Amino acid sequence: MVRHFLKIADLSPDEILSLVKNARANKGELSTRLAHKCLGMIFAKPSTRTRASFTAGVYQLGGHVMFISEREMQLGRGETIEDTARVLSGYLDGVVIRTYRQDDVEKFASAAEVPVINGLTDERHPCQALSDLMTMSEQADDLAKTKVVYLGDGNNVAVSLMNGCASVGAAITVCTPEDLAPPQWAVREAEALAAVSGSRVSVTSDPQTAVEGADFVYTDVWFSMGQQKNSEKRRQLDPYRIDGALLAKARPDAKVMHCLPAHRGEEIAAEVMDGPQSIVFAQAENRLYAQKELLKFLLADGQR
């Protein structure tokens, strides 16, 4: 059966932990595991890290990538997602999709005969969460003993981070203004994963108490791709900015994470982003290593 990675729950906790472990061990791998394989990358939104890290990762494993901007496809002229998926399955060995609607990625995967990877939708960013777990595990060997606090907008990154932490047993607090909280379905999903792993999931709105005892303090942009900027949302989110004073309430050795791109002075103060507790660039680099393992797991012959 073809496996896809459309959301965190598509991998079992053991599979996630094993990918994380292998990603740490195989960082420098240059091999031919994906020789003669071609990964399609269909993007409807901009990307720096996701596009570049998948491209570099596939090359390091001996394969090829085909980048396709969604607006250059026949999709815009009425060809269905399902027909597109069936046709591309005949040429490609896997597809990464970055688009707006999660439903569209699910539709594509339901008709695809090759693995489909979610490279970000409005609802989820599972590749980010997978590599974030790797980054956290480099700092704290037992993820089940860590406390992660996400501050800001309850967006796609928050949803996948919440699910990733809940899956492997890390305690996760998502702290947002009440009307920017992650959707209820996402909280229920994380709670279901936490019931199995023994993790704790909480959703709160007070940043000052949320960060107490945090090992990791995480944020993301206040305006995601496709969202209109507005001053009311900015005003609401102002108390959730990670600055020196807020960070001082976390553990003294707490690490600061951000999926990037960042807006210094908005969701994160410049001195925090560039300060000694920030691990954002190691975090970005780990996208490459985690995704190489994901690609081998989903695409390479004889892997599973």
Can you give the binding site for ligand CP, defined by CB under 6 A? Answer: 47-50, 120, 128, 259-261
Query: Which position among 93, 132, 189, 220 is part of the footprint of ligand NVA (CB under 6 A)?
Result: 220
Q: Which of 237, 34, 19 is nearest to 126 (CA)?
A: 19
CB burial of residue 97 (10 Å; 0-12, 13-18, 19+): buried
Q: Is 38 a catalytic residue?
A: no
The reply to whether 155 sits near ligand NVA by the rule CB under 6 A is: yes
Active-site residue, selected from the candidate residues 93, 132, 215, 220: 220
Residue 127 bears catalytic tag: no
- Quote the CA–CA distance of 143 and 170 in Å, as a whole number: 5
Q: Which is nearer to ligand CP, 259 or 268 (CB)?
A: 259
Is 220 annotated as catalytic? Answer: yes
Find the residue with minimal CB distance to ligand NVA. Answer: 224
* Cα–Cα separations (whole angstroms), residue 255 to 168, 195, 249: 19, 26, 12
The dihedrals phi and psi of 157, each to the nearest 5 degrees, come to -70, -40
Alpha-carbon gap, residue 229 to 62, rounded angstroms = 41
Provide, rounded to whole angstroms, the least separation between the CB of residue 99 and ligand NVA: 11
Residue 163 binding: pick among ligand CP, ligand NVA, none (C-beta 5-8 Å cut-off by kind):
none
> Is 287 in the active site?
yes
Instruction: Candidates 150-158, 162-170, 176-184, 263-271: pick the segment binding ligand NVA (CB under 6 A).
Output: 150-158
Q: How far is the CB of 290 from ligand CP (least distance, A)?
A: 12
Footprint (CB under 6 A) of ligand NVA, residues 238-277: 259
Gap between the Cα atoms of 113 and 82, Å rounded: 11
244 binds, among ligand CP, ligand NVA, none (CB under 5 to 8 A by kind): none
Q: Which residues contact 2 (CB under 8 A, 6 or more apart)?
A: 112, 113, 114, 115
* Residues marked as catalytic: 98, 125, 128, 220, 259, 287
